[in-house]
Amino acid sequence: MRIDLLERGVFPELEGLNPHFRPGAPKLRYLLDTRLDNAWPGNVHAPSFEIFEPFFSRLSSHSCGCGRTRAQSRGGYKYKPSRTLVTLHERVDLAHYLEHLVLDIQYDLGGADSFSGVTLGVGAGASQFVTVVESEEIRLGAFAVNTALAMMHQALYTGAVDPRFIHVLDLARWLRRTGHSRISPREAARVLHIGPAQARYCLTALRVLKYPIDIRDTGDSMAPQIGPVLVVEDDELGRALLGESLGELGYDVRCVADGRTAVDILARYDTSVVVLDVYLPDLDGLSIARWLLESQPATQVVLISGGIDVEHEDGLANSDIRFLPKPFKIAALHQTLQTVYLN
């Protein structure tokens, strides 16, 4: 899935579509394409409400005016006051539920008493939907959309949501409540009562998901702690050399020989950095990188190979993914890892 349009306005012509819209309230409108371009056969799950509830304090109590009424309208949506949402079986359900995730994040971070939204199908093979949600602040709304979309991808691709997102959202709430504009990994670890590696992951997540506060490392003296690092390399000698060398440098490193095994490990949501060979015997590294950009945007990726121009690869342009051409020295990889994770 992807967001093809994101804009802010009042959109008075749309206020009549939702009786709960406040007249003249600012709104965020986004176009969601629900096609799963980076899914592999057999790896798409049907997410349930229970997957998301630990992350959202008000999700189970949302009032929803659009309930599925097949018997009344042949599978369409008809206004029907309800305290529950539809089940996640069809594309429109995914778009509709994503709307509620976006609203819930804004509730928690914005401190508003209520927000409303509406989701509308716009065609394109029944895969595109326009959603309009009330949003007091465009940057906060954009962060909510980016975060909700990443969490939905996780649920679809693995049947679970990264448990570290509880800390990501907790840190966003703390920053919002205190008004802090600068925070270091040490401070984040203290606030969240977590380790330094997880704290750095949370800061990375807030950065890539466009959290609306300028987050900078304040230059404290805490030693860099990077990990776990997953090395995906099919060449046995190269894999052994990378694992041994990175281990001697103090990294918490794991090594695998193929893409499927890598995806299984990544689905556990405990990897911070992936050193990923482009050419693998099953799934190619570029596909895995695109999959990670959708579902785990805070996981840092270093692609290693010869003859590939990552900057011009479809879906990877303008991303945070780094490329290290073969052959390279371990010192160069070490410097790259320091750069991507401590940026």
Residue 79: pLDDT band (50, 70, 90) is very low
The confidence score (pLDDT) of residue 107 equals 87
Give the per-residue pLDDT at 82: 44
How high is the pLDDT of residue 153?
94
- State residue 183's pLDDT score: 85
Residue 314 has pLDDT above 80, yes or no: no
Asked if domains 163-223 and 229-342 share a fold, the reply is: no
Q: Would you say 184 and 220 are in contact if contact means Cβ atoms under 8 Å apart? A: yes
Does residue 86 have a pLDDT over 60? no
* Beta bridge partner(s), residue 286: none
Q: Which residue has the higher pLDDT, 318 or 5?
A: 5
pLDDT tens for 127-178 read 888 999 999 888 899 999 999 999 999 999 998 999 999 999 999 999 998 9
Is the confidence at residue 224, as pLDDT, over 70?
no
pLDDT (mean) for 234-257: 92
Separation between Cα atoms, residue 209 and residue 145, nearest integer Å: 9
In this predicted structure, what is the pLDDT of residue 222?
40
For residue 338, give the H/E element and its range: helix 330-342
Work out whether strand 253-256 and strand 229-232 pair parallel, antiparallel, or are unpaired.
Answer: parallel
> Which runs of consecutive H residues, i.e. helices, occur in 114-257?
138-158, 165-178, 185-192, 196-208, 236-248
Question: Counting Cβ atoms within 10 Å, is residue 306 exposed (0-12), middle (13-18) or buried (19+)?
Answer: exposed
- Tell me what pLDDT residue 38 has: 86
Minimum mean pLDDT among 20-29, 211-220, 245-254: which range? 211-220
As a dihedral over the C-alpha atoms of residue 224, residue 228, residue 233, residue 237, rounded to 10 degrees, the angle is 70
Q: In the chain, what's the furthest Cα-to-Cα distance? A: 67
- Arithmetic mean of pLDDT, 8-19: 87
Sheet holding 117-123, edge to edge: 2-9, 27-33, 128-134, 117-123
Residue 207 scores a pLDDT above 80: yes
User: What confidence score (pLDDT) does residue 60 get?
Assistant: 67
User: What are the extents of the domains in the chain?
Assistant: 2-158, 163-223, 229-342
Question: Average per-residue pLDDT in the chain?
Answer: 82
- 127 forms bridges with which residues in the sheet? none
Model confidence at 51, in pLDDT bands (50, 70, 90)?
Answer: confident
Question: Which of 121-125, 169-173, 214-218, 311-315 has the least mean pLDDT?
Answer: 214-218
**Is a pLDDT exceeding 80 seen at residue 296?**
yes
Fold (CATH) for 229-342: Rossmann fold (3.40.50)
Candidate from 72-81, 219-228, 285-294 with smallest mean pLDDT: 72-81
pLDDT of residue 185: 83
Residues 250-260 have pLDDT tens digits of: 888 999 999 99
Query: Of the candidates 235, 242, 279, 286, which has an alpha carbon nearest to the alpha carbon of residue 257?
Result: 235
Choosing among 3.90.550, 1.10.10, 3.30.310, 1.10.8, the CATH entry for 163-223 is: 1.10.10
Q: What pLDDT does 120 receive?
A: 82
